[in-house]
Structure 1
Amino acid sequence: MALAMAVVIALITVISVYIFGAKVWWMPPSISTHGPAVDHQFNLTLIVTGVVFVLAQLGLAYFVWKYRERGDGRKATYSHGNNALEVGWTTAAAIMFIGLNLIGYRIWANMYFTPAPPDALEIEVQGQQFAYYFRYPGPDGKFGPTHVEKIDDATGNFYGLDREHDPDAKDDVVTATLGVPVDRPIELILRSKDVGHSFYVRELRLHQDILPGIEIPIHFTTTEDALKYNGGKYEIVCTQLCGLGHYKMRAFLQVMTEADFEKWLQSQAAAQ
């Protein structure tokens, strides 16, 4: 029985390594400039922790077999631990995790602590139960103020704009699709209308929680690869349980050439 259990543990280990090594289930292609750095950090972490996983599982299989019940009546002996070994593997684990954190910190800081370029296209993103809405400034480059009393989902005024009296709000464009031009810096201003949500696009390697009462800026730049897959269309999903309709809360990111983006934005403005 012990040998069978040891073999099963070893097989699970080998199959797990194969699934990751052969990339049976793997990440979709990256379409952002920061994506390769995120992927490199992920692969580095996977390799380091993978080695620990293999050694630990094979060690478990060995000890399951070595210390099996032999049926010879011998009494079990107990160990009260080894302080030197415990200090050693705790120190090694701390060095490994702190080291990986320090390596990954630069990638994270470039995404969150480095401001978006001055020429970045600024887009507001509003998450609400259970949809996303995106607002673009008009030709004046300014967002109109939000009037809470004018917010009305029934009439499509998701941002509470007063287009009749606010000059800055007259040319704002509100859409249900996040359209962006390729190779141009994009700055998103994330906000929630009601409860906690999140903004997640696998291909962008971008995942950010959205909290009520807080404006959270993030920025990215798509690459030419974004136009090669799915017609440039990628799913945006909420990963935070935000209510009964959470399962259907999604939108789409549409990456376009600069010329196609201008045409798209004009068509969206005409439909306001």
Structure 2
Amino acid sequence: MRYWSVLFALAAIFSVGAFLYAPFSPDWWLPNPASDYRHVVSTFGREIDSLYLIILIITGVVFIGTQVVLVWESFRFADQKDEAGKPVRPAQYFHGSQRLEVIWTIIPAAILVFIALYQMGTWASIKFRSSAPKVPPLAEITGRQFQWVMRYPGPDGKLNTQDDLFTVNDLHFVKNRTALIYLKSSDVIHSFFLPQMRIKQDAVPGLTIPVWFDADTAGKYDLACAELCGWGHYKMRANVTVHETDEEFRKWLNEKLAEQNQSQLTMATVSQER
């Protein structure tokens, strides 16, 4: 029994050590820019990380406390033998305690209620439609097996018109500006996940869901599907580019529009020749 106690103690020590080391290691913690792994690029990301740390601290304290009690009780109530190996006191067993059961029911319930109330403001600012920013939509994004199709407003600045720009797996927006997208799915449930920005939203067939986010650092980021959606789920990734200025974004948009128009013109010419 004592050997098992030592094993459990070592496991607890390792877990606590990993818990303390993780925030200082870029490979163990939540993803951030490679240039500064401690900097969270989005406003919502910082709020999510704060909630995450609070929950992690609460569960960490509970884990350490329960493991200390477990190891201590294992030694205290184990069989005791003298030097000759004869039992001095047999192990003690307890069937249960109504008082303890009430205590360990009330305390976790109180903690859960605290967490539920504490996170409501952050959750509402990220998920409630009433909190959606009053800005023109950046794009309509449709998930389908196994890619993300982006539809940007064209020169008229309106979505769902003939001059819209279509791209695949290529999301662009400007830093320090809230990006509003409309998320859809054309087949199964997908999950729109921006890990560096801590944004995750399921794309559900038949629904159009507004999603908003921002970034304060220009650069390249990731977009992945976080919902198992079929055999090609592993490759359902997209590139995210955050531009430094609106001029850079407009330049990219105009270049893509020119390429799209040229492609459509070429296809029309070939079709007429046939």
User: If the length of structure 2 is used for normalisation, what is the TM-score?
Assistant: 0.82
Gaps of 5+ in 2: 33-39, 82-86, 261-274
Measure the CA separation in 2 of the matches of 1:201 and 1:8.
39
Q: What are the residue-to-residue correspondences of 1:32-71 with 2, within 5 Å? A: 32-70=42-80
For 1:38, the aligned partner's letter is I
For 1:175, the aligned partner's letter is T
Per-residue deviation, 1:64: 2.5
Instruction: Report what 1:7 is aligned to.
Output: 6
Measure the CA separation in 2 of the matches of 1:78 and 1:12.
24
Per-residue deviation, 1:112: 1.4
The answer to whether 1:240 aligns with 2:222 is no
Partner SS for 1:184:
coil
Question: Higher relative contact order by CA 8 Å / sep ≥ 6: 1 or 2?
Answer: 1
Measure the CA separation in 2 of the matches of 1:219 and 1:95.
32
Partner SS for 2:94:
coil
Per-residue deviation, 1:250: 0.8
Q: What are the residue-to-residue correspondences of 1:69-148 with 2, within 5 Å? A: 69-70=79-80, 72=87, 78-113=93-128, 114-144=130-160
Stretches (4+) displaced over 6 A: none
Partner SS for 2:131:
coil
Measure the CA separation in 2 of the matches of 1:87 and 1:123.
52
Paired residues in the alignment total 241
Measure the CA separation in 1 of the matches of 2:250 and 2:19.
42
Deviations 1:32-69 (A, max 9, x none): 11211111111111001100011112222222323334
Per-residue deviation, 1:78: 4.4
Measure the CA separation in 2 of the matches of 1:81 and 1:265.
68
Per-residue deviation, 1:6: 1.6
Measure the CA separation in 2 of the matches of 1:32 and 1:77.
55
Per-residue deviation, 1:76: 5.8
Partner SS for 1:267:
helix
Measure the CA separation in 2 of the matches of 1:59 and 1:120.
56
Instruction: Report what 2:202 is aligned to.
Output: 209
Per-residue deviation, 1:121: 3.7
Gaps of 5+ in 1: 145-167
For 1:85, the aligned partner's letter is L
Measure the CA separation in 2 of the matches of 1:47 and 1:38.
14
Instruction: Provide the aligned C-alpha RMSD in A.
Output: 1.8
Instruction: Report what 2:177 is aligned to.
Output: 184
The structure with the largest alpha-carbon Rg is 2
Per-residue deviation, 1:75: 5.9
For 2:67, the aligned partner's letter is Q
Measure the CA separation in 2 of the matches of 1:74 and 1:110.
60
The one of 232, 248, 251 aligned to 2:238: 251
Contact 2:185 2:203 in 1 (8 A): yes
Q: Report sequence identity in percent.
A: 38
Measure the CA separation in 2 of the matches of 1:63 and 1:77.
10
Partner SS for 1:47:
helix
User: If the length of structure 1 is used for normalisation, what is the TM-score?
Assistant: 0.83
For 2:230, the aligned partner's letter is G
The answer to whether 1:270 aligns with 2:269 is no
Per-residue deviation, 1:99: 0.4
Measure the CA separation in 2 of the matches of 1:236 and 1:119.
22
Measure the CA separation in 1 of the matches of 2:165 and 2:136.
17
